[in-house]
Amino acid sequence: MRLRQTEGGGVIRRLMTKCMRIFIVIMGLILSCFPSSCAEKQTPMSYEEHAERLKQTFETALFTLPPVKQRHYAVRLYRVTGDKRYIYPIIFDIFITLRNLQYDERGLYDPKYASLGAAYASDNEFMETIDQGTMHPFHPWGEEMAFFRRLCRNMNKLRQYNLLHSTFYPAADKMLEALRAQKDKLSAFLLDRELMKTSGAQLANYVYYLYHLNVMDLRRAYLDGLEEVLMRELKDSALSDPQYNDKIYALTHVILAASDYYQQYVDRREFIWILDYFEQNINTILTRTKPDVYAEVGLCFLLAKDNNNKVLEKIKSAVVSNIDAEKGMILSVKGSDDLSKGEHRNVLAIMLLDWPEVLFQGPDLKNMPEFQNLLPIEEQDREWISG
Instruction: Determine the Cα angle at 160 with ends 156 and 162, to 5°.
Output: 115
Q: How would CATH label the architecture of 46-381?
A: Alpha/alpha barrel (1.50)
Beta pairing partners, 329: 324
Alpha carbons within 13 A on the beta-carbon side of 284: 14
As a whole-number percent, the residues of the chain with pLDDT over 70 amount to 78
* Max CA distance (Å), the chain: 126
- Of 176-180, 266-270, 370-374, the least confident: 370-374
CA trace torsion 238, 240, 241, 247 (10° rounding): -60
pLDDT tens per residue, range 32-63: 554 444 444 557 899 999 999 999 999 999 99
- pTM for the model: 0.83
Query: Does residue 132 surpass a pLDDT of 80?
Result: no
Residue spans of beta strands (DSSP E) within the chain: 323-324, 329-330
Mean pLDDT of the chain: 85
- Measured CA to CA, the distance from residue 154 to residue 48 in angstroms comes to 33
pLDDT tens per residue, range 94-117: 999 999 898 888 878 777 776 665
Reported as a pLDDT band with limits 50, 70 and 90, residue 191 is very high
Rg (CA), the chain: 29
Domain boundaries, the chain: 46-381
pLDDT tens per residue, range 233-264: 989 999 999 999 999 999 999 999 999 999 99
Query: Does residue 124 surpass a pLDDT of 80?
Result: no
Question: Which residue has better confidence, 130 or 273?
Answer: 273
Query: Does residue 70 surpass a pLDDT of 90?
Result: yes
As a whole-number percent, the residues of the chain with pLDDT over 90 amount to 68
Query: Does residue 16 surpass a pLDDT of 90?
Result: no
Mean pLDDT within 184-199: 93
- pLDDT number for residue 21: 63
Reported as a pLDDT band with limits 50, 70 and 90, residue 10 is low
Reported as a pLDDT band with limits 50, 70 and 90, residue 122 is very low
Please, what's the b/e burial string for 28-65 (b: 16 or more CB within 10 A of its CB; e: otherwise)?
eeeeeeeeeeeeeeeeeeebeebbebbbebbeeebeeb
